[in-house]
């Protein structure tokens, strides 16, 4: 038995969620070799504070000290059939760059034939009047490395010696955790759900063991791999455990992952990027196929300010990318 897909164009015949590919994959380069030269004030970031993919870019922008270099605006967390909208409200407002009413206008201005799902984040080029990228993985790397003239060059979230390890763990986390919660929540057959949620919790078990032995996922300091995992973990108990039926266990039942989540949430500057009201209202009020009543649950509470206890765990280097059976 199957149910109607939340996004029919992203569901296969077996009821599996298959995420659409990002349409825009250009790059900003410090040397301008891509045609998109890094410059103060040239680029604008459109984000949702609710979205884990957009949240990555908000965090990296903050950690690199680029708030005065790459401007940013926030869409309404409530998305209807018209897509992400620019509306006045707490923590979001009108589009200050183009005066768009909906983010879809940015997509159509960049590719008039675009007929896919409009997603965040979007990196917009004011000079050329078009989207550079709507791929969060690319945008965080641009913010990390291509704006060093203005940003904090002591922060490197993708250090050269660790790139292979970071790429390997990113792939595992993306397939089974970042996208795994969506594959669980948007599955339309029991078999598709069982497969996705099984892979999700098997990977969380591996990560729980790994973070019992080392402070961060790769190397001896925080990298992009940690922030890519963080934005999913932050939403796990308040949203994914219930809304996406990822309820074999709560994140709170994983002590190492919980401490790790708290340490990253307490990282300087990160708390200001977290808006749990936007997060919960977005999921529970937008996905009416999953939550027809539109009721936003009260729990689960996250005590992100509690002691994290991670300082006692030594970080280690070396090639130790986990294996998921």
Place 325 in a pLDDT band, splitting at 50, 70 and 90. very low
Which of 5-9, 65-69, 102-106, 129-133 is least confident? 5-9
Domain stops at, among 145, 178, 212: 145
Residues 88 and 212 in one domain: no
Peptide bond into 33 cis (omega under 30): no
Residues 83 and 210 in one domain: no
Answer yes or no: is 320 within a domain.
no
Active-site entry in 43, 46, 107, 182: 182
Domain stops at, among 120, 145, 170: 145
Residue 124 has a pLDDT of 98
CATH number of the domain within which 203 lies: 1.20.1050.10
Place 249 in a pLDDT band, splitting at 50, 70 and 90. very high
Answer yes or no: is 225 within a domain.
yes
The mean per-residue pLDDT over the stretch 161-174 comes to 98
Residue 3 has a pLDDT of 42
User: Which strands sit side by side in the sheet containing 130-133, from one edge to the other?
Assistant: 71-74, 43-47, 122-125, 130-133
Q: pLDDT digits over 253-297, tens only?
A: 999 999 999 999 999 999 999 999 999 999 999 999 999 999 999
Q: What is the pTM of this model?
A: 0.94
The mean per-residue pLDDT over the stretch 8-26 comes to 88
Residue 10 has a pLDDT of 77
Distance of CA 92 to the CA centre of its chain: 18
Residues 112 and 188 in one domain: no
Residues 277 and 167 in one domain: yes
pLDDT cut 70: percent of the chain above it: 94
Q: pLDDT digits over 28-52, tens only?
A: 999 999 999 999 999 999 999 999 9
The DSSP-derived string for 124-187 is EETTTTEEEE--HHHHHHHHHHTTTTTS-TT--SS-GGGHHHHHHHHHHHIIIIITHHHHHHT-
Report residue 273: phi and psi, to 5°.
-95, -5
Helix (H, G, I), strand (E, B) or coil at 237: helix
* Region for 232 from its dihedrals, namely left if φ exceeds 0, alpha if ψ lies in -120 to 50, beta otherwise: alpha
Answer yes or no: is 10 within a domain.
no
Residues 59 and 112 in one domain: yes
Domain stops at, among 145, 170, 199: 145
Residues 185 and 305 in one domain: yes
Tokens of 5: 């897909």
Residue 51 annotated as catalytic: yes
Q: Report the DSSP beta bridge partners of residue 130.
A: 125
Tell me the Cα Rg of the chain: 19
Domain count for the chain: 2
Residues 232 and 284 in one domain: yes
Residues 224 and 88 in one domain: no
Q: pLDDT digits over 47-95, tens only?
A: 999 999 999 999 999 999 999 999 999 999 999 999 999 999 999 999 9
Residue 283 annotated as catalytic: no
Answer yes or no: is 58 within a domain.
yes
Active-site entry in 43, 51, 216, 284: 51
Q: What is the mean pLDDT of the chain?
A: 94
Domain that holds residue 75: 20-145
Distance of CA 264 to the CA centre of its chain: 14
Residues 302 and 238 in one domain: yes
Residue 316 has a pLDDT of 62
Peptide bond into 300 cis (omega under 30): yes
Residue 187 has pLDDT above 90, yes or no: yes
Nearest Cα residue to 210 out of 264, 262, 257, 167: 257
Residue 318 has a pLDDT of 40
Answer yes or no: is 107 within a domain.
yes
CATH number of the domain within which 28 lies: 3.40.30.10
């Amino acid at each position: 038995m199957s149910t109607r897909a939340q996004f029919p164009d992203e569901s296969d015949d077996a009821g599996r969620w298959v995420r659409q590919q990002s349409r825009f994959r250009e790059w900003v380069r410090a040397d301008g070799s891509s045609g998109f030269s890094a410059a103060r004030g040239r680029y604008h970031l459109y984000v949702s504070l609710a979205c884990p993919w957009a949240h990555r870019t908000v965090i990296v922008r903050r950690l690199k000290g680029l708030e005065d270099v790459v401007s940013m605006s926030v869409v309404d967390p409530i998305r209807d059939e018209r897509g992400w909208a620019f509306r006045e409200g707490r923590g979001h407002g009108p589009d200050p760059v183009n005066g768009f009413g909906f983010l879809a206008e940015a997509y159509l201005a960049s590719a008039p034939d675009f007929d896919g799902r409009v997603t965040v984040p979007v990196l917009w080029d004011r000079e050329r009047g078009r989207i550079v990228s709507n791929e969060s993985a690319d945008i965080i790397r641009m913010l990390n490395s291509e704006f060093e003239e203005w940003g904090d060059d002591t922060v490197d979230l993708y250090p050269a010696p660790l790139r292979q390890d970071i790429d390997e763990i990113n792939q595992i986390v993306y397939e089974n955790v970042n996208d795994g919660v969506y594959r669980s929540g948007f599955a339309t057959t029991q078999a598709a759900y069982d497969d996705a949620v099984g892979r999700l919790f098997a990977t969380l078990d591996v990560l729980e063991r790994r973070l019992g032995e080392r402070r961060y996922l790769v190397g001896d300091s925080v990298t992009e791999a940690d922030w890519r995992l963080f934005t999913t973990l932050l939403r796990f108990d308040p949203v994914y455990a219930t809304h996406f039926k990822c309820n074999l266990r709560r994140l709170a039942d994983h002590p190492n992952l919980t401490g790790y989540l708290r340490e990253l949430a307490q990282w300087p500057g990160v708390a200001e990027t977290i808006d749990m009201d936007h997060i919960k209202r977005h999921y529970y009020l937008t996905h009416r196929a999953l939550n027809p009543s539109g009721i936003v649950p009260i729990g689960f509470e996250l005590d992100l300010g509690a002691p994290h206890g991670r300082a006692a765990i030594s970080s280690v280097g070396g090639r130790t990318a986990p294996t998921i059976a």
